[in-house]
Structure 1
Amino acid sequence: MNKQGLSSDIQASLQEQDLFPIREVSRVTGVNAVTLRAWERRYGLIQPTRTDSGHRLYSQADIDDIRRILGWLERGVAVSKVGSILARGQKLAHGVVLADCTAGWQAQVREAVHRFDAVALDSLFDQVFAALNLDLVFTEVFMPVWHDLAAGQGAFGLASEWLFLDQFLRGRVFTRLQLARVPRSHTVLLAPLPGPCLELDLLVTGLLLASDEVGVQLLMPGQVLDELPLVCERLRPDAMVLFSNHPLSDGLGKRLMRLATGLQCPLLLAGEAAEGAQDGLAGSPVACLGAEIERMRRRLRQYFAGQLDT
């Protein structure tokens, strides 16, 4: 490995830890440095360690992941979708086979909802919550059923079933949000972008975006975009996150850039809107967190650490 330009101490440290600078990773994988940085910044696909001076260092596991990414891209998978495939593969590699048990829980949830059985649904929620972490409770069990019912409301009875499940989940999520209101190192305001936004989508994003370091306060659907500077002035959050699972409407990107200049805190974009707007907002004051909750949390931490490029 060519480590020309690095001191002998740094070279020895890299060899001991099997860490490689970006130029060496580019050489052995055939992926240029610009693309590697874009995969990290835009999609969170690779997360190298950083030296004190900010230089990226990649492990052998990172290099293996890069080769897997190339394999999926060669199969025609969009780069924005590769992250979820890799994440699922990592879960399986560690022996966490979720498909069978989550499918079974989903079937039980559907049956309880079909019977409008609140007691059974309540018991199922507690069972799933005891067996899985918070992310999986929603992303692998309850929200897929909620989305399926929302998509099938043309069939007789499904609209009522969806409303029953939606009301149940909103109550459960809201309760957990209330319990999570304790002081954190950082406070984030989460608000929906103008346009379609279902309250449960926002509530679940707020619940899952929170961490031991980051507390989340919600602004509900109907929040006026132009009044956000006033809200931020009074609440003084560390960041303002705007959320939507729909593409940005014409002209909204420019409104966001103007809004960012009038806020007294950083402005960030999350949800599917962030995926579609990434290129258009590159270099602007608006940072994009992505659509997957794990990536949102990671990129939010990076932003507060000054390591996330806008």
Structure 2
Amino acid sequence: MAQYTIKELEHLSGIKAHTIRIWEQRYHILSPKRTETNIRYYDDADLKALLNISLLNERGYKISKIAQMNQEQIMQKVQQLCETHSECSAQINTLVSAMVDMDEEKFDKTLSTAALQMGFMDTMSQIIYPFLNKIGILWQTGNITPAHEHFVSNLVRQKLIVAIDGQVVRRREDAQTFLLYLPEGELHELALLYMSYIIRSHHQHVIYLGQNLPYADLELTYKQCRPHYICTVLTAVPERDQVQQYIDKLAVNFPDCQTLVYGHLVQFENLRFPANVRRLSCMSEFVSLFRKASV
């Protein structure tokens, strides 16, 4: 069972630590435990309870009123928020709770409801990406396992593939070609799949080569297809001290197209980007490319 400090609860719930302490003292909404060395900590049940309480409080419910509700009543109120309104924070917190419990039905229902209400692209930008950021906090603090990450990634991946499959292909006459791939050893595919969805939604041409692509195959495809753009995501590969070398290699080997690179490994300030390689700091920056006349 995971253990959380009060500061971790603050980051995950958005409720300040001193407020959490006041709520504990006045309303007994949480019951922190203590380690053998007398250090306070919270468990998964406390996290889920606080996520639900913070949602109701954010929506105008007074904490004194919430404290009078039992767990079932709180859950019913939260469920109503998720199903009847486009309440992004409610849906994000529900996804966190579903992940902790590995509850596929709840996870799927939450995303499906959001997609129907908001559309798939807004669901990705306003719910899935903020949710994945919370996952990052949980991962950094050791409160989720690789199994949790795989559980979430596979469900989101399924949604992306279904959304891409459901797109109507109406390529523009002046469509440009985007070649999408992940380097050999790189398996984190969600961002690349979303890029594919965005490109197709703007009626451009996608060549999707996917995960774990040997560099020689990338070169062969480039020579054959002559894409206007190459898109890749560097999350775990290459090693951090080899990222600059990899960027320079892309610039030299693919001089006649623009290479777009995204991901954790390209966000460091000391990296240099040649004229034909562009760093994307966030996915909204990628979306904004399609507002320009050149794409």
TM range, normalised to the smaller chain?
0.5 to 0.7
Q: Which residue of 1 aligns with 2:112?
A: 126
Give 2:97's match in structure 1, choosing from 111, 119, 125. Answer: 111
Contact 1:289 1:296 in 2 (8 A): no
C-alpha distance in 2, partners of 1:276/1:300?
25
Instruction: Give % identity.
Output: 13
Secondary structure of residue in 2 paired with 1:299: helix
C-alpha distance in 1, partners of 2:160/2:167?
11
C-alpha distance in 1, partners of 2:156/2:215?
27
Give 1:271's match in structure 2, choosing from 262, 274, 280. Answer: 262
Contact 2:244 2:272 in 1 (8 A): no
Shift of the 276–158 alpha-carbon distance from structure 1 to 2, 3 Å rule, reads closer
Count, aligned residues: 201
Shift of the 156–277 alpha-carbon distance from structure 1 to 2, 3 Å rule, reads closer
TM-score by length of 1: 0.54
Contact 2:178 2:231 in 1 (8 A): yes
Matches within 5 A, 1:215-254: 215-245=205-235, 249-254=243-248
Shift of the 213–289 alpha-carbon distance from structure 1 to 2, 3 Å rule, reads farther
Contact 1:146 1:166 in 2 (8 A): no
1:122-147 deviation digits (Å, cap 9, x = unpaired) = 22112111222433312321233334
Contact 1:187 1:237 in 2 (8 A): yes
1:217-260 deviation digits (Å, cap 9, x = unpaired) = 32222112233231134445443223335777142232112211
C-alpha distance in 1, partners of 2:270/2:285?
14
What amino acid does structure 2 have at the position aligned with 1:142?
A: I
Matches within 5 A, 1:76-155: 101-153=87-139, 155=142
Secondary structure of residue in 1 paired with 2:201: coil
Q: Which residue of 2 aligns with 1:280?
A: 272
What amino acid does structure 2 have at the position aligned with 1:120?
A: K
Once the two structures are TM-superposed, the CA of residue 111 in structure 1 deviates from its matched residue by 2.1
C-alpha distance in 1, partners of 2:169/2:125?
24
C-alpha distance in 2, partners of 1:143/1:179?
21
Contact 1:187 1:239 in 2 (8 A): yes
C-alpha distance in 2, partners of 1:301/1:278?
29
Unaligned runs of 5+ residues in structure 1 are 1-99, 306-310
Shift of the 155–243 alpha-carbon distance from structure 1 to 2, 3 Å rule, reads closer
Once the two structures are TM-superposed, the CA of residue 104 in structure 1 deviates from its matched residue by 0.8
What amino acid does structure 2 have at the position aligned with 1:112?
A: A
Contact 2:227 2:257 in 1 (8 A): no
Unaligned runs of 5+ residues in structure 2 are 1-85
Is the counterpart of residue 259 in structure 1 residue 248 in structure 2? no
Secondary structure of residue in 1 paired with 2:125: helix
TM-score by length of 2: 0.56
C-alpha distance in 1, partners of 2:185/2:293?
26
C-alpha distance in 1, partners of 2:125/2:145?
21
Contact 1:149 1:158 in 2 (8 A): no
Secondary structure of residue in 1 paired with 2:278: strand
C-alpha distance in 2, partners of 1:225/1:152?
33
Contact 2:229 2:258 in 1 (8 A): yes
Matches within 5 A, 1:172-191: 172-180=159-167, 182-184=169-171, 185-191=175-181
Q: Please identify, of 184-193 and 292-301, the stretch whose mean Cα deviation from structure 2 is larger.
A: 292-301
Shift of the 139–212 alpha-carbon distance from structure 1 to 2, 3 Å rule, reads closer
